[in-house]
Structure 1
Amino acid sequence: MANSTDKIPTIDDLIKLDQDDPLNWTRDEFEIPNIKACGGEGDGGAIYFCGNSLGLLSKKARKHMIEELDVWSTSSVTGHFSHPHKRPWKHVDQPLTPHLAKLVGAKESEVAHSSTLTSNMHNLFTSFYRPTIKRWKIVIEKGSFPSDWYAVHSHPKLHEAVLSPQQIDEAIIGLEPREGEDTLRTEDILKVIEENQDEIAIVWLPLVQYYTGQLFDIATISPKVHSIGALLGLDMAHGIGNVECKLNEWDVDFAVWCTYKYLNSGPAGIGGFYVKDGLDNGGRRLAGWWGNDSATRFQMLPEFNPTKGAKGYQHSCTPVFSSIPLLSTLELINKIGFNKMLKKQKDLTGLLEKLLKSSKYYKPFLNTKNQNELGFKILTPEFPFRGTQLSISILPENNKEIMPKIFSRLIKNGLIGDERYPNVIRLSPVVLYNKFEEIGKAFKILEDAFKAEEDGKEFENEIDLDMISKD
């Protein structure tokens, strides 16, 4: 935190930080959820620390969406080609591509805006997972998001003509933290790659891990992957718009992402993907109309002639209603400058970490004396190996009933994070719409929730574990 000391800041200190913050104006660009509408008690805006799951609606996005509905109403099909706001639906992805390429550290030719994260993952694995008898394994973290885990496991089974049943069963190498640790060490990832160097076809990692919030050291991992002759792919769902992405500099081969978290495209909003220029697909491509050369696409020719670059892997025309909200956020980020956002992110999340570590309920080191005490530990690594998210594990870990009660009290008092069964609560203060003052208030709400649990107070209206978005 800028100008930080060992002193715990007061609310007045935090208000002053907000007043002096050069990015304090961006909050007014968003619509802040209501406490009562989110399931809490009281009036006014909630403290929304859940942008890692679903970002907020920007005011400009609302305006643009209404404009698109009006175009649909008044112009209908002609809106594809003639648009009063110069956003013709036929080319709705064009203004997005430069912003996305800049944000992920890639060339425009390497970026496509299409479909959903898992569909894009299947699409690219079809082209770039080409197992042989000698090189067929996929490295993935064992604690990966289920969609990635399921998707990766499905692909070896599609190659029964090449792989034996035993190879299919042994195709997945699952990375696990060391016993007693919560996150993966880079040195252990490198060791697994080295030990299986002759058999690995693809290493698939998240840029930011969804559960722990760990930011992976891709700059170190990538050279090792390529030195053994394998490809490196990334899931950037929790990375894009959150941390610095340098896909070209890191020499990543392919990547996918969603846009409804830190880029605020709306529930289940559109995804995107990256394919390194010149990456060989071995003649394997799932073709679709929208991947055909845009110059001849509407001639409806029988031969498929793919657009050069990532856009040649697109299938269907771009969904307008999940692209337009995204444009609003991308334009805002471009106006601010992502480097300035990263600085504020470090300060915001660093402040939350500082306050959490000042709590009497913070128990980073468990032993036989305190392992059954009420409290929490922070799973997320310290800066620089994290983004905005801090994941806290509620203790004792063998009691699965405490986390839902703590989480319910947070919601009741207007702090919106999200939970991960059985013990984790994720809190993510987002640069674009959260304030320093909210960090202090959120910490007080969390402290009060633990005190109520410690005092044995009953809490009957627990939040349904399925209430909050699960990604």
Structure 2
Amino acid sequence: MTFQNTLEFARQLDSEDALASYRNEFHFPQVNGKDVIYFTGNSLGLQPKRTKRFVDEVMDDWKNLAVEGHFYAEKPWWDYHERLAEGLSKVVGAKPEEISVMNTLTVNLHLLMVSFYRPTKQRFKILCEEKAFPSDQYMLQSQVRFHGFDPEEAIVEVKKRPGDHFWRIEDVVQAIEDSGDELALVLIGGVNYYNGQVFDMQRITQAGRSVGALVGWDLAHAVGNVNLDLHEWGADFAAWCSYKYMNSGPGNASGIFVHERHLGKKDIPRFEGWWGTKKETRFLMQPEFDPIETADAWQLSNPPILSLAPYLASLELFDEVGMSTLIEKQQLIVSYLEFVLQEIDKEVESTFEIITPEARGCQLSVFLHGEGRELFDYLMKNGVITDWREPNVIRLAPTPFYSSYEDMYQFGQILKQGILEN
């Protein structure tokens, strides 16, 4: 497609957009009396309008049924979380029994590492990407220390090549092969939070498993954003948050994936709690843990229903649209945003450098050479909600559910004016 940086062309794309009506399914903050141009769905997605109905239903059940809501609500609370498994399995490419929803992301990664980081004197190393998201770094360091190893020796960070802003997948594979039989675990962010790079998860998973390591993925920036096929790729486990592209609300419940080859085992190391026991025997209050034969065996406590209700509302949207349709629009709108940036770059003296490689999802990370924080502040004051990373990077994530092509054009005009005025 030959793009044009004109309002008419952007509106033409919107008129042809199969997802255009879904913009009306979300609440937009306003600045200066207008809906904002929202580029931070990679941090916190907008609220779906139908969310209130799902939450109100739980509140009404609590009001009218109290404890009986566990079994007699329209969506009984004791198995409420099970309603999310089918929808999430389609989003991440898994079987429903491989999915559970519980806790928050880093909590779940810690719990999963109880099962999947079992170091020995010979095989104890963890491989991750250089400068992973800080929470992942802290988690890995604390896990390694907990097992009595030195993070400097046990954690293998794959670095970018000098001058590169992205990782070469062949370098990741080589690092796995070099670690060989010392490697216990590969744990990488499927989409890097800083540069927006999508890792070749299938190839890396295969490489890790070929040397005898277990492989897990932090999918915080990947779920609801890029194509995932966790079951077929053979990943051992994964976890993700739900409040970014999944639009479930701030700090909301995390999802996990555990490959079916690990399910139904009583001897797998695991921190255990009541809600991971089989439903048939749970209320017999038996002293021995009897694990559910699904990923729910990793649950500890009864699910937070008021947290799951918004997630279920959002998954209803994903079920209606499907990931393939979302990704189709994502690819076009991100390409159009890239074109708009390039066109504005030609018109102003500043130089934009997109550091996100072609392997990408919704996010473009852009160096604004010669520009400072003042430009970011200008964008925010003029209704462009974006994200700033020091020293001069903005992250732009036009999510397909609610971003329009006209948004991309109008952003370009506001960006241009901001550069000229600053």
TM category, shorter:
over 0.9
Residue 456 (structure 1) aligns with = none
| Separation (CA, whole Å) in 1 of partners of 2:400 and 2:329 | 6
Residue 166 (structure 2) aligns with = 183
1:339 maps to which of 324, 339, 349: 324
| Separation (CA, whole Å) in 1 of partners of 2:303 and 2:372 | 40
Residue 29 (structure 2) aligns with = 33
Residue 262 (structure 1) aligns with = 245
- The alignment of Structure 1 onto Structure 2 pairs a total of residues equal to 420
Residue 354 (structure 2) aligns with = 378
The residue type paired with residue 69 of structure 2 is G
* Change beyond 3 A, Cα 1:43–1:57: same
Are residue 407 (structure 1) and residue 397 (structure 2) matched?
no
| Separation (CA, whole Å) in 1 of partners of 2:347 and 2:172 | 29
Residue 46 (structure 1) aligns with = 36
Q: CA deviation at 1:168?
A: 4.9
Residue 390 (structure 1) aligns with = 364
* Change beyond 3 A, Cα 1:301–1:282: closer
Residue 97 (structure 1) aligns with = 85
| Separation (CA, whole Å) in 2 of partners of 1:48 and 1:119 | 29
Q: CA deviation at 1:282?
A: 5.9
Tell me if the contact between 2:87 and 2:315 (Cα under 8 Å) persists in the aligned partners.
Answer: yes
Residue 39 (structure 1) aligns with = none
**Secondary structure class of the residue paired with 1:381:** coil
The residue type paired with residue 257 of structure 1 is W
* Change beyond 3 A, Cα 1:332–1:97: same
The residue type paired with residue 56 of structure 2 is I
* Change beyond 3 A, Cα 1:282–1:211: farther
Residue 75 (structure 1) aligns with = 65
Between Structure 1 and Structure 2, the one with more helix by share is: 2
Tell me if the contact between 1:50 and 1:427 (Cα under 8 Å) persists in the aligned partners.
Answer: yes
Alignment of 1:163-242 (within 5 A): 163=149, 167-242=150-225
**Secondary structure class of the residue paired with 1:252:** coil
Tell me if the contact between 2:342 and 2:352 (Cα under 8 Å) persists in the aligned partners.
Answer: no
Q: CA deviation at 1:374?
A: 4.0
1:159 maps to which of 126, 129, 147: 147
**Higher alpha-carbon deviation: 66-75 or 182-191:** 66-75
Are residue 307 (structure 1) and residue 292 (structure 2) matched?
yes
2:385 maps to which of 416, 423, 441: 416
1:137 maps to which of 122, 125, 150: 125
- In the alignment, structure 2 segments of 5+ residues that lack a partner are none
**Secondary structure class of the residue paired with 1:321:** helix
**Secondary structure class of the residue paired with 1:155:** helix
Residue 14 (structure 2) aligns with = 18
**Higher alpha-carbon deviation: 216-225 or 205-214:** 216-225
Stretches of 4+ moved more than 6 A in 1?
A: none
Q: CA deviation at 1:66?
A: 2.0
Residue 231 (structure 2) aligns with = 248
| Separation (CA, whole Å) in 2 of partners of 1:122 and 1:423 | 33
* Change beyond 3 A, Cα 1:388–1:281: farther
Q: Which digits, 9 at most, give the CA deviation of each residue in 1:371-423, with x for residues without a partner?
A: xx8433111112xx110011112224xxxxx4321111110110001122232
| Separation (CA, whole Å) in 2 of partners of 1:291 and 1:25 | 40
Structural RMSD (CA): 1.7
Alignment of 1:392-471 (within 5 A): 392-396=366-370, 402-453=371-422
The residue type paired with residue 238 of structure 1 is H
* Change beyond 3 A, Cα 1:362–1:213: farther
Give me the identity figure in percent: 40
* Change beyond 3 A, Cα 1:410–1:314: same
Tell me if the contact between 1:356 and 1:362 (Cα under 8 Å) persists in the aligned partners.
Answer: no
Q: Which digits, 9 at most, give the CA deviation of each residue in 1:133-167, with x for residues without a partner?
A: 1110000112210000100111121223xx5xxx5
Tell me if the contact between 1:54 and 1:266 (Cα under 8 Å) persists in the aligned partners.
Answer: yes
The residue type paired with residue 200 of structure 1 is L
Q: Which digits, 9 at most, give the CA deviation of each residue in 1:24-74, with x for residues without a partner?
A: 111111111111xxxxxx112111111100011111111221222222222
- In the alignment, structure 1 segments of 5+ residues that lack a partner are 36-41, 364-372, 397-401, 454-471
| Separation (CA, whole Å) in 1 of partners of 2:213 and 2:122 | 12
Q: Tell me the TM-score normalised to structure 1 length.
A: 0.86
| Separation (CA, whole Å) in 2 of partners of 1:45 and 1:154 | 43
**Secondary structure class of the residue paired with 2:367:** strand
Tell me if the contact between 1:14 and 1:436 (Cα under 8 Å) persists in the aligned partners.
Answer: yes
The residue type paired with residue 349 of structure 1 is V
| Separation (CA, whole Å) in 1 of partners of 2:214 and 2:418 | 46
| Separation (CA, whole Å) in 1 of partners of 2:7 and 2:344 | 16
* Change beyond 3 A, Cα 1:214–1:362: farther
Tell me if the contact between 1:11 and 1:440 (Cα under 8 Å) persists in the aligned partners.
Answer: yes
| Separation (CA, whole Å) in 1 of partners of 2:176 and 2:418 | 44
Residue 292 (structure 1) aligns with = 277
* Change beyond 3 A, Cα 1:439–1:346: same
Tell me if the contact between 1:361 and 1:376 (Cα under 8 Å) persists in the aligned partners.
Answer: no
| Separation (CA, whole Å) in 1 of partners of 2:402 and 2:159 | 35
Q: Tell me the TM-score normalised to structure 2 length.
A: 0.96
Alignment of 1:265-284 (within 5 A): 265-279=248-262, 283-284=268-269
Residue 51 (structure 2) aligns with = 61
Tell me if the contact between 1:51 and 1:428 (Cα under 8 Å) persists in the aligned partners.
Answer: yes
